[in-house]
Amino acid sequence: MHVTDARYELYGLRSGNPYAGRPLDPLTSEDDRLLELEGFIRLATIEATVKGAADANKPAFFLITGMGNSGRTSLANHIMYRYQHAMAARLPCFSLVTHCAERGEMTHDAYRTLRSTLLSLRAKMRANQIDVPLPLAEMFTDLSKRPRSQAMDDYELQEIADYAASIFAAHDMGFGVRYEGVATKELIIQASRVFENASTVVVFTVDNYRHATAVQLTRADRQEFARRGHITDLSPLSAAQIAALADHRWTGRRPSPFDSEGVCKAFHEHPCTIGLALRHLHRLLDTRLRQYDGDEPWPTDGLRMDEDWLLLNMRRDETWYGPGPGGFHG
């Protein structure tokens, strides 16, 4: 067995390194809980917005901005989960189906993206053994066969969305949509119109840096969206937030081996995104596990990563220190 694997088991880390970076999805696993991390995300505000929309049978629109590895996908998944939870409070048998348009599907053709979304809902209705009424089936067929030169109007698409939502609701079901890495503001505008009457949740994630494939939102665009939805801007973590992350993500025997004050000092001048912070915590733990040669698991002092150790190991790898606002390079 690899020495690192043996050390994971020694400390009760049966799932491996707890700082492995991946999008969290509580719809798939209840263990994927999102943390506020000393104010990093205002979950109470988000959950109140979701609950208000669910109680009123209105759509919930969310816009999440941030740089790469900032936690946008995890937050989007959390919003979907909270929407399902809010609906289930009134309808115990409620279930949510989701359509997730990933980055590879994002183009500057908003109509094409919306068309794909609606046809995906048809497929999900069939997969859940929901009979599609003939009028709605004909609408879907018309949508799928029309050439781009004869594209449907937004309000024709809205009629399909409304009809589909009503059929889902009749089966104590609903749908949520996540658009990952939106490439054009027209998608945000059109999708908000198409789903404006449907009881659903729609989440847009947007890169907050200038790039040809990233949507560029002006202050006016943000103000317009804020009239109908909620905006969350994800920033790099502060040193205190990284220390909270190190403590909360530890799944082995308590306490966490990371010295909180040491983590704060090590990251004080180098804030970074949550994804990058996890990468560095992952590497630090693996380094410490390989160095530790004791026979007893923590809480002996063998695994403890104190301030001096953390500062020393951060300085040893100079490539960790990146010049940009994202903090370190991985």
Distance CA(309)–CA(95), nearest Å, equals 48
Tokens 């100079």 locate to 318
- Residue 330 in this model has a pLDDT that exceeds 60: no
CA-wise closest residue to 121 among 69, 163, 77, 82: 163
Distance CA(126)–CA(110), nearest Å, equals 25
What are the strands of the beta sheet with 229-233, ordered from one edge? 95-101, 173-179, 201-207, 60-66, 229-233
- 86 vs 43, 48, 83, 91, CA distance in Å? 14, 10, 5, 9
Distance CA(125)–CA(139), nearest Å, equals 14
pTM above 0.85, yes or no: yes
pLDDT tens figures, 108-154: 899 999 999 999 999 999 999 999 999 999 999 999 999 999 999 99
pLDDT tens figures, 3-59: 455 578 788 888 889 999 899 999 998 888 888 888 899 899 999 999 999 999 999
